[in-house]
Amino acid sequence: MSADPAPAPRTRHPLLEARWPTAEEAARSRWFSPVRLGARVVATSRTWVPAMVPWRATEDGFVTEDVLDWYRRFARGRPGVIVVEATGIRDVPSGPLLRVGHDRFVPGLARLVEAVREASGGETRLFLQVLDFLSIRRRPTPEAYFGRFLAVSDDLRARTARGLGDVAWRTAPEADLRARLLAATRAEREAVLDARELEALDRGARERVTDMHLPHVRDLPLVLPGLFAEAAVRGRDAGFDGVELHFAHAYTLASFLSRTNARTDGYGTTLEGRLRLPLEVIAAVRARVADFALGVRFLGDEVIDGGTRVDEAARFAVAFARAGLDWLSISKGGKFEDAKVPRVGEAAYPYTGPSGLECMPTVYVPPPGPFSRNVPLAAAIRAAVRGAGFETPVVTAGGIATFDQAEGILARGEADVVAAARQSLADPDWFRKVREGRGASVRRCEFTNYCEGLDQRHLQVTCKLWDKAFDPADPSVKRSPDGRRRLVAPEDPAPS
Ligand SMILES: Cc1cc2nc3c(=O)[nH]c(=O)nc-3n(C[C@H](O)[C@H](O)[C@H](O)COP(=O)(O)O)c2cc1C
Ligand code: SF4
């Protein structure tokens, strides 16, 4: 009998050598040159902080002082654009995630706009990322699942009778049936429960856009265009420079675009069908905020079995460009389908599996490593968009943390804007330092995803490179509830 092969050792990719430009070279560079993003918005540079949820809103979705601190800190580095974290378009409880589903959220969002304007000296353009998501439940205890959540239908009774070999389960009292399934072995449960019920037991129930038996899912095409349009109007009223539609990762519109979308009501199956709701959303938003900057984030590759690949993503991009969007921001992966099994009491998280690793690649990803890993997707998409005659700017992100990477991407025409999420978290001043010829003092991201681990647990996101750097006796440093981590990066010791 042969033993299992030993797991392959993990390779840790070293950080790229960084050569930093002088202030003169930076001033002449492509990265620090302006870019137009729609009829009325010009960003002063092609530097961009993409959306990052920091888990700092109130439980009912309002902007807090901690949210303001988070965005002010990025704004002091004066990136061309900051995209505010994924913000929910519905007026429903969603935990400490920002919301824009009602007019009562507008004053807080307006304060956020003001804070960024002030901290960046008016230089940074601010976009609001807006999203819709379907429900996902925490993984239940078996007691809760069999005691309450499992729906007892005639069909379940028939499957129980068959699986356990006893017809009495067709008519037995419901409480007895629930107790019997709770006491069942794994093999018995697998013989009785269908795939969705097993998933609900093992991971927590998760809705799909294909759940046409659920009226609120069936009717998504009726409600989402209006909800997105109202969210965009509120974003404009709050003073944002534009709105980014979140059609990426594990959320509703990404699921409509997905090759796995088998809806048969005209909103799935074919490429045209999968594009139909996203295009209807864009049209509805445009109808309400005609001259407002409007972009989209979507996936260049879903990185799941049977998922969308870059060839189809390029066709989506051309359709979005034709629909008049002002930028196309390309992401990758981040899906529920391959997420890790959560612990009891926690919900599955879409950045924990192989597709999640492609979304936020670490130094441990397979060759060629995390650096500029997702640029080929943006490059292929940009080529298709240009080939179709559109000049829409394409934004790329993923493991970009040096000037030469960014400059090379722009010089080769692989993208028009170069974004950095984790490097900007590691050092929110880094764009400014590079521009001022002080690149040698950049605190460099190590790409090991401590921050993402906090995000997964819905804890306030910080960076391991600076969150312990404070004097515990200093009351002016704002900290996490356990007092152990500072919430914003220390100030640049040598600002210009
Ligand atoms: C803590 C954290 C939260 C994130 N939240 C969002 C989000 O709200 N919306 C989004 O489109 N991407 C989100 N992302 C993904 C980033 O925008 C970015 O695409 C990804 O981190 C890869 O870029 P990087 O290598 O520069 O970090 C998040 C990333 C991190 C680390
Ligand atoms: S915690 Fe790690 S991966 Fe995240 S920003 Fe800091 S150094 Fe980078």
337 vs 206: CA distance, rounded Å? 10
- Per-residue model confidence as pLDDT tens digits over 219-229: 999 999 999 99
With a pLDDT cut of 90, the percent of the chain lying above it is: 95
The phi and psi torsions of 415 (rounded to 5 degrees) equal -160, 170
- Per-residue model confidence as pLDDT tens digits over 257-282: 999 999 999 999 999 999 999 999 99
Task: Identify the pLDDT of residue 2.
Answer: 41
Strands 42-43 and 47-49: unpaired
- Per-residue model confidence as pLDDT tens digits over 296-332: 999 999 999 999 999 999 999 999 999 999 999 999 9
Task: Identify the pLDDT of residue 188.
Answer: 97
Could you tell me if the CB of 364 is within 6 A of ligand 2? Answer: no
pTM of the model as a whole: 0.96
With a pLDDT cut of 70, the percent of the chain lying above it is: 98
Over 28-46, what HEC string results?
HCCCCCCEECCCCCEECCC
**Closest Cα to atom 7, ligand 2: which residue?**
445
Task: Identify the pLDDT of residue 3.
Answer: 45
Q: Pseudo-torsion of CA 380, 386, 392, 394, nearest 10°?
A: 20
Measure Cα distances from 42 to 36, 80, 119, 120, 298 in Å: 4, 9, 18, 15, 22
Task: Identify the pLDDT of residue 210.
Answer: 98
| Average confidence (pLDDT) over 360-377 | 96
Task: Identify the pLDDT of residue 7.
Answer: 56
| Average confidence (pLDDT) over 470-487 | 93
Task: Identify the pLDDT of residue 8.
Answer: 61
Q: Check pLDDT > 90 for residue 183.
A: yes
The residue whose CB lies within 8 Å of the most ligand 2 atoms, and thus the one to mutate among 53, 362, 448, 455, is 448
Q: Check pLDDT > 70 for residue 6.
A: no
Among 261, 270, 360, 336, smallest CA distance to 306 is for 261
Task: Identify the pLDDT of residue 416.
Answer: 98
Could you tell me if the CB of 441 is within 6 A of ligand 2? Answer: no
CA of 171 to the centre of ligand 1 (A): 51
- Per-residue model confidence as pLDDT tens digits over 72-103: 999 999 999 999 999 999 999 888 899 999 99
211 vs 214: CA distance, rounded Å? 6
Asked if residues 43 and 416 have their Cβ atoms less than 8 Å apart, the reply is no
CB-based pocket (< 6 A), ligand 1: 50-53, 85-86, 129, 246, 248, 297, 331, 359-360, 397-400, 420-423, 451-452, 455, 461
- Per-residue model confidence as pLDDT tens digits over 96-149: 899 999 999 999 999 999 999 999 999 999 999 999 999 999 999 999 999 999
Among 213, 310, 200, 217, smallest CA distance to 255 is for 217
CA of 380 to the centre of ligand 2 (A): 28
303 vs 470: CA distance, rounded Å? 40
Confidence band, pLDDT 50/70/90 cuts, at residue 169 = very high
Strands (E), 228-322: 242-247, 293-301
| Average confidence (pLDDT) over 357-362 | 96
